[in-house]
Amino acid sequence: MQSDNPTAAILVIGDEILSGRTREGNAHHLAQVLNATGFDLREIRVVSDDQDQIVAAVRALDGSLGGAFDLLFTSGGIGPTHDDITADAVAAAHGTTVVVDAGARALLQARCDRMGLELTPNRLRMARIPVGATLIDNAVSAAPGFSIGQTHVMAGVPEVFRGMVDWLIPKLPGGRPVQSLSVEVRRGESDVAEPLAELAREFSDLSLGSYPFHDERGWGTNLVVRGLDAARVAEAMHAVKQRLAL
């Protein structure tokens, strides 16, 4: 699919994802948001809670560091425990250090005061922000994410992550949302492969995909046309239905 939208990558950080202990859903949610708001998601990567791996991934993906994409979004590793090392790793990737940010500290202190809690050293870890970063609002639990370069660092807890996404994405310059049409056919994927390949060549500016499924009625295939121009997508879907006599 031809696109002039900003490109993006998602970096999911956490041993709990790689071990299978936690089912990852943040990247799935953000992928839907990005496609709907004009960002061209090109890669999703998962790394462990290892500083060298995180640093290498941030440098490879953040365009402001010479990486492959215009924007990088991360999930995980900014909590209060010893293995929450994302802030340190992102700071290292961007050639800076972390400090207890005054604004982040004030947010955490206000929340602790409201809840009658002490701002302990562990809680204060969530106020450690790379020098030069700006804060990402967290309306759920106060501890902020942050943006530095083109890296946008958000929490791994799904409810908090989604709140940060809702706050952040409208503030970024997006492009044209992806338009999509689909049709279900009661044929196996191999039966539609040849005509779909011909149509993909005819509509090379679009993305044509086939996604097989199986249910109580047997095998079928969802055919999906995606692009940035709604009229062009509709034209291609019409051609799909004609070619397959639907």
Q: Is 65 helix (H, G, I), strand (E, B) or coil?
A: helix
pLDDT for the residue 228: 95
The answer to whether 86 and 110 are in contact (CB under 8 A) is no
pLDDT for the residue 25: 97
pLDDT for the residue 1: 84
pLDDT band (50, 70, 90) for residue 151: very high
pLDDT for the residue 90: 98
The answer to whether 185 and 221 are in contact (CB under 8 A) is yes
As a whole-number percent, the residues of the chain with pLDDT over 90 amount to: 98
pLDDT in tens, 81-110: 999 999 999 999 999 999 999 999 999 999
pLDDT band (50, 70, 90) for residue 148: very high
pLDDT for the residue 2: 86
Q: What angle do CA 203, 209, 215 make, to 5 degrees?
A: 145
Please check the confidence at residue 246 and state whether its pLDDT lies above 90. Answer: no
The answer to whether 71 and 87 are in contact (CB under 8 A) is no
Taken in order 24, 142, 39, 9, the sign of the CA dihedral is: negative
Nearest to 160 by CA among 176, 183, 144, 178: 144
> What CATH number labels 7-171?
3.40.980.10
What mean pLDDT, rounded, does the chain reach?
96
Per-residue burial over 85-111, b if 16 or more Cβ lie within 10 Å, else e, is bbbbbbbbbbeeebeebeebbebbbeb
Q: What angle do CA 44, 79, 138 make, to 5 degrees?
A: 80
pLDDT band (50, 70, 90) for residue 239: very high
Phi first, then psi: what are they for 114, rounded to 5°?
-65, -35
Domain ranges of the chain: 7-171, 179-243
The two three-digit tokens of residue 197, written as one number: 């390949």
CA 1 to chain centre: 19
pTM, whole model, 2 decimals?
A: 0.92
pLDDT for the residue 169: 98
pLDDT for the residue 115: 96
> What is the architecture of the domain spanning 179-243?
2-Layer Sandwich (3.30)
